[in-house]
Structure 1
Amino acid sequence: MKLYSTNNHRLSVDFETAVFNSMPLDKGLFMPAHIPALDPEFIAQIHEHTLPEIAFKVASALLAEVMPADDLKQIIDEAINFEAPLKTIGANTYVLELFHGPSLAFKDFGARFMSRVMAYFLKDNQKILDVLVATSGDTGGAVALGFLGVPNTRVTILYPKGKVSEIQELQLCTNGQNIHAIEVDGTFDDCQRLVKEAFADEALNDRLRLTSANSINISRLIPQTFYYFNAYAELKRLGKAGDVVFSVPSGNFGNIAAGLLAYKMGLPVKQFIAATNVNDSVPRYLETGVYETRPSVQTYANAMDVGAPSNWVRIMDLFDQDRDAILNILKGYRFTDEETLVGIKALDEQFGYVACPHTAIAWLAFQKYGQEDSGKYTGVFLSTAHACKFPDVFPENIRMKIEIPEQVKSLLAKEKSATAMKPDYEAFKNYLTTFY
C-alpha cells in the first residue's frame, strides 16, 4: 500500500511510514494511492459474515501487502472485539450504535486498531514513540485506553479546558502509566493547531519520534470503514438493503470520510448526510461553494465543536476537488443547541430512545433529508457516544433513564491529573522536550 500527500500527489510512502509520521511535512494528509474495489460477490453475500470477518476482508483489500494475513487477522480480532448493533427507530429507520467499546464511543474502532498496528511495527531498539492527540471529547478517551500500557509509547492528550464533559475528562486524566493529559486554555482548534505545529517542526521531529492518534492518521480512518460495511450486512439480513442513506455526526469529518472511502471501495449507498452543530464550515461550503473555516463555538455536542475540520481535505481529494461530484453523494445540515434538545426529547417521547446530543443531531438531519426526498430508502443514523457522557444536557426525566456502565462508576472515584497550559506552541514544545 502506497500513500501520497493531499498536497503532493507525487509523494510516495509506505503504510508504516504514514502511520508513524501521521502527517506529511507539507501539512497535507496521507491518502491511499489506489483505492481497491471489493469483490461484488462479497458485497452480495456480505450478510453471511460477522463484523470481524468483514473487517478482515476490508482491511486485507487495503493492507494485503503490508503484513501477513495471520498478523492482520490477529490485530482485527483483538481490536474489533465488541458489537456495533443496529436498532429500529421507526419505519425504515435504524440507529447504528457505535458506543459498545471500552471508552463508550465510536473512536474505539480507530484507536484500538491503530494502537495494535503501531505496536506491530515498533522495534525494541527504536526510540520511544510519542503519540500526540488533540480531542474535543471522545477521541482522547479512546486513545488513552487503546494505548494504555503499550510498550515503547508515550501518549500526550490535549483537550480544551471546560469544553469536555466530566466523564470525558476523567477518561483522559485518570490513567497514569504512559498516558499524559494537557488542559489547554482554549478551543479544540487551538489543541489541533499545537499538534499540527509539532508535526511541522523539523527540529522537534529530529529529537522526538512523533506520531498522531487523531483521525488525521490513516490507521484511524481505515477501521472506521468496517462498521459501514457491517451495517449494510445487517440491513441485508433484515431485507432492508435497497437504497441506503447514512446520517453521520460530523466534527473533524473523519467518520464520514471513512464512510465515503467505503463507498469508493464498493459499498452501495444512496446518500451520505453530514450532520453538524453550529460549527458548520462544510454545510456552508455545500450550499455556497465557498470553504471558510471559523473559530469553533462550544455546544452540547462537544465532539463536533470543530471550526476547521482536518479530514475535509481527504473528502475533497476523494472526489478530485469536484464539488458537483461531492454534491451528488453528500448533503449537509446544521442544528443549534435548542434544536438538539428538541431532537433528544422527540427520540425519547416517540421511540423511548435516549440519544447523546451528537446522535440526536444525526437523527434530526435524517428527518430534514426526508422532508426534501420523499422516495423509498432506508435510513441509518450513527450513534457515536453513550448518553451517560453528557448528563448535564438532558432534562431530568430523560437523564434518570440513562444506565450508567460499570466502567463509568469506577471512573467517578478517581482523581484527575492534568497539566494546565495556554495555547502557546513554544510552551507545548518545551513540555514535550523537558517533561520526558
Structure 2
Amino acid sequence: SAITIFPPRTDGEHDFRVWNPQLIRYACYKQPDGKLIGDPANLEFTEVCQKLGWKGSGGAWDILPLVLQANGQDPEVYDIPQELILEVHMSHPNYDWFADLGLRWYALPAVSCIMLDLGGLQFTGIPFNGWYMETEIGARDFCDENRLNMCETIARKMGLDVSTNATLWKDKAVVEANVAVMHSFQKANVTITDHHSASESFLKHMENEQRLRGGCPADWVWIVPPISGSITPVFHQEMLSYNLKPSYEYQEEPWRTHVFKTAEEGQKKKRRKLLTFKEVAKAVKFSAKLMGKALAKRIKATILYASETGRSEKYAKVLCEIFKHAFDAKVLCMEDYDPVHLEHETLLLVVTSTFGNGDPPENGEEFGRFLMELRRDHTGSEDRPRARNHQTGKLTRAKGESHFICFYRVILRALNNNGSQRSPPIPDPPPS
C-alpha cells in the first residue's frame, strides 16, 4: 500500500484535490432512452469529465481519466494509459459460463477523495490504496441494484427459480459471484482477502487498540460484511462510533464548489497539452530515484520501542520523525523486530517503559530475554540482572535495584556487554 500527501489547506482557496472518488473507476454513459452503459455509481463524475473535455469510447469498461487540481487552480485532465491498468477478468471454478458474462474489475482500490485531519492541518489531497475484500466487488459492485445489478442474470444462468424470494435465489447467486471474484483474483495472483479473514483481523486490531488505548471507534454498519453477517465474529461485537484525531474525513465533491478561473462553469475546458501522464510518471520516477540515492548515503537508524499504554510508541515515532532529517530512520515494536539483525545495526535507539514491579512491557519481554541469553553466551555466567526467573517467567532486576526504569537498565547493560558502543550517557531523571 502507498499514500501520497499533497500540501495542506491554507485559506480554503488553494486546495490540492484529486477530483476522482477513486483513482481508477469505470465510466458510465446515459443513452437517449435512459439506459446506462458502465458503472452507474460514476455517472455524475463521467459527465463532469466530459464537460472538462474528456471523450470516452462509450463502452462499459472505459477507465475514467485523472482530474487533478493544484493550488486551487482549474483542474487538469489526464488519460491513464490502458497498459497501466491491471484488470482481473472473472471466471468461476465450477461454472464455465461465468466467463462469458464478460465481467471484470480493476485490481487496485485507491481512495482519492478523503481528507486527512492531522495536527490542526487539513490535507485535502491524500490518495492512498489498499487491497480488496471480495464482497466489495462480488456483492456490492456486481450485485447491488444501483450498480451492475448482475444478481438475477447469475441466478438465471444457475437455473434458479427467480419468481419468488422464497427460493433464496438472490443469496445463492451473490455467494457464487463472490466465489468467482476470489477464484479470479487468486488465479491472477492479485492480492485479495475474504470477509471471514478480514472480520477476524479487525477483531484482533480492536483487541490491540483496547489494550493500548482503552478503546477503538468503529461503525458497525461499515465493518460487518454485506453477506454472511451473523456467521462473522464482527456481527456479534458491540461497537461505538466516535471521532478521534488524526482522522480521515469525507469532503464535498470539488466540482460542486469550484469556481473556474479560465472558463465559465459548464463550458468545455481546453485540455492542456504541455505534459502527458507518461511524462509526469517519468518525473515522479526520477524524483523517487534521487530520493533513494540520497537515503542510501544516510546512516541507517533503527528505533525500537516497548510499551504497555502506547506512550513509548508515541515518543518513538516522534523521535523517528526528528532523526529522519539526517538519518534513514525506521521505528519498530520490539516484538516485531528480529534480534539477529542487531549485529548489523549502525545506530540503535531504544524507547521503553518499565511496567509493574520492574518488569518489561509485554511486547518487550522476548527481546529482553534474547539479550539476556546473548549475555550469558558471552560471559558464561548468569550475572545480575538475571535473564529469566524460572518461577515467574519474567525478566528480573538485580538485587536491591530500584523498580524505576529497570527495564531500560537491563537493556543497557546487556547491549554494553555484547559489544555495543554506547552514546554519551544521559543522566537518569529523578523519580517522581
Q: TM class, shorter-chain normalised?
A: under 0.3
> TM-score if structure 1 supplies the norm length?
0.25
**Bigger radius of gyration:** 2
- Structure with the bigger RCO (C-alpha within 8 Å, sep 6+) is 1
- The answer to which structure has the higher helix fraction is 1
